[in-house]
C-alpha cells in the first residue's frame, strides 16, 4: 500500500485560489462554475467542481512530505471537475515510462463504486509536456499496480477502471528541469469508442468458422482497460454477431507477452462481459455464449507491460 494516511486527506486550496483560501471560499467558487460532466451514470455524482492542486510554496519545494507528494497526496473528490496547479522543485516519484524526472503532483481518488474515469489535459493552460500516471493501491515506484504511464497525455485523453473502495494515485509529472502551470479534466462515465482504437479487421460470426490473427508489440501503454488488468498494448476487434451461439476465444503469448482476452460491448470497462488472463508466454482461453445478435468486441491485451507477440483464435459453433 502507498505511504499515506487516508485520515489526513484534505482538499487543499493552492494555485489559483492561493494557499490562504479557506475550504468554504473554495466551495463557494465551485457552485458558480459550469458543469464539466459527460456521460454520467444514472446514479448522480456530487456537484461539478473545479479544484486546485499545484506545488507548495517555494520554501517547501524540497520537502518530500509537502502536500502533493506520495506522502501527502491531494484529495480528488468523486465528482467531475477541472484541476489546476503549478509545479516546481525536485522530483519524488517516477514511473516506468520516463520523462518524469521533474516535479509532480499526486492526487488520490477513492471511488464509491466501480466507474470508468476519463482524464484529459487542458493544453492551453499547461506549460510543459506532462506525463500521466495512475497507480492502483500504490504511489511510489515498485508499489501497487500501474494502470497508466504515458508521455502522450498532451496529445490524447486516457481512461481507466476505478473499482469502488480502492485507492488510485493520479500523478501529473514533468520532464527534468520543468516548471509551470497545468490543468486537466476529470470525468466519470463511458469513454467514446475512439479512445479504444478499434482494429479495422472485423470478426464475422459464421457457424463452424474460425478467426485467426497474430501481432507483435513493442513495450508501451495500451488504451483498453479490463477487470483482468491489461496496461500493455492491445488489439480490439469488432465482432458482428448474427445468432445466439457459443464462441471460444484463445490467445497464446510469445516473447514475454502475457495474454489477456476480453469480450465487451463497448470501449468502457463497465461494458465488459467476461475476461481472463495468463502469465507471460501463457495461454488464455475464454468460452462465451453470445445471447443475442448485435455488436460485440473481442480484445487481446497484455496483463503486463512489455514487448512480445500473440496468436489469437476465435471459434464459432
Residue carrying C-alpha cell 507483435: 216
Q: Which residues contact 124 (CB under 8 A, 6 or more apart)?
A: none
Give the residue-averaged pLDDT of 291-301: 98
- Do residues 155 and 236 both lie within one domain? no
For 282, the domain range is 194-316
C-alpha distances (whole Å) from 136 to each of 67, 129, 175, 211 are 20, 23, 23, 35
Burial class (CB in 10 A: 0-12, 13-18, 19+), 23: exposed
The model's pTM: 0.80
Same structural domain for residues 106 and 229?
no
pLDDT of residue 27 exceeding 60: no
Same domain membership, residue 301 and residue 171? no
Exposure letters 243-269 (e unless 16+ CB within 10 A, then b) = eeeebebbbbbeeebbbbbbbbebbbb
pLDDT band at 55 (very low <50, low <70, confident <90, very high): very low
Q: What is the DSSP letter of 59?
A: G
Could you tell me the CATH number of the domain that includes residue 299?
Answer: 2.60.120.380
Contact 253, 310 (CB under 8 A): yes
Same domain, 122 and 262: no
pLDDT for 62 equals 82
pLDDT of res. 61: 57
| Residue finishing a domain among 189, 204, 228 | 189
CATH code of 147's domain: 2.60.120.290
pLDDT tens per residue, range 62-92: 888 899 999 999 999 999 999 999 999 999 9
* Residue 255 domain flag: yes
Please write the tens of the pLDDT for every residue from 149-186: 999 999 999 999 999 999 999 999 999 999 999 999 99
User: Does residue 126 form part of some domain?
Assistant: yes
Q: Does residue 176 share a domain with residue 82?
A: yes
Look at residue 1 and tell me if it is in a domain: no
**DSSP H or E run through 310:** strand 308-316
Number of folded domains that form the chain: 2
Helical segments of 193-263, H only: none
Amino acid at each position: 500500500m502507498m505511504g499515506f494516511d487516508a485520515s489526513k486527506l484534505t482538499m487543499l486550496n493552492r494555485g489559483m485560489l492561493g494557499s490562504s483560501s479557506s475550504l468554504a471560499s473554495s466551495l463557494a467558487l465551485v457552485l458558480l462554475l459550469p458543469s464539466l460532466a459527460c456521460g454520467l451514470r444514472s446514479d448522480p455524482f456530487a456537484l461539478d467542481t473545479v479544484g486546485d492542486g499545484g506545488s507548495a510554496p517555494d520554501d517547501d519545494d524540497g520537502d518530500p512530505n509537502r502536500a502533493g507528494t506520495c506522502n501527502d497526496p491531494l484529495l480528488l473528490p468523486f465528482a467531475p471537475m477541472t484541476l489546476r496547479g503549478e509545479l516546481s522543485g525536485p522530483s519524488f516519484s517516477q514511473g516506468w515510462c520516463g520523462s518524469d524526472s521533474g516535479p509532480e503532483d499526486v492526487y488520490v481518488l477513492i471511488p464509491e463504486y466501480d466507474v470508468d474515469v476519463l482524464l484529459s489535459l487542458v493544453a492551453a493552460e499547461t506549460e510543459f509536456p506532462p506525463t500521466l500516471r495512475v497507480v492502483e493501491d500504490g504511489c511510489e515506484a515498485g508499489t501497487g499496480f500501474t494502470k497508466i504511464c504515458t508521455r502522450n497525455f498532451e496529445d490524447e485523453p486516457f481512461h481507466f477502471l476505478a473499482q469502488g473502495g480502492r485507492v488510485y494515485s493520479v500523478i501529473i509529472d514533468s520532464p527534468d528541469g520543468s516548471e509551470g502551470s497545468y490543468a486537466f479534466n476529470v470525468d466519470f462515465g463511458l469513454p467514446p469508442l475512439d479512445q479504444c482504437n478499434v482494429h479495422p479487421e472485423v470478426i464475422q460470426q459464421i457457424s463452424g468458422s474460425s478467426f485467426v490473427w497474430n501481432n507483435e508489440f513493442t513495450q508501451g501503454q495500451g488504451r483498453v482497460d479490463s477487470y483482468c488488468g491489461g496496461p500493455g498494448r492491445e488489439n480490439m476487434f469488432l465482432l458482428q454477431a448474427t445468432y445466439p451461439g457459443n464462441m471460444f476465444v484463445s490467445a497464446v503469448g510469445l516473447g514475454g507477452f502475457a495474454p489477456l482476452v476480453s469480450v465487451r460491448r463497448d470501449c468502457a470497462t463497465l461494458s465488459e462481459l467476461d475476461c481472463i488472463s495468463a502469465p507471460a508466454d501463457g495461454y488464455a482461453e475464454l468460452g462465451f455464449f453470445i445471447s443475442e445478435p448485435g455488436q460485440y468486441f473481442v480484445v487481446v491485451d497484455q496483463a503486463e507491460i512489455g514487448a512480445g507477440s500473440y496468436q489469437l483464435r476465435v471459434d464459432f459453433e
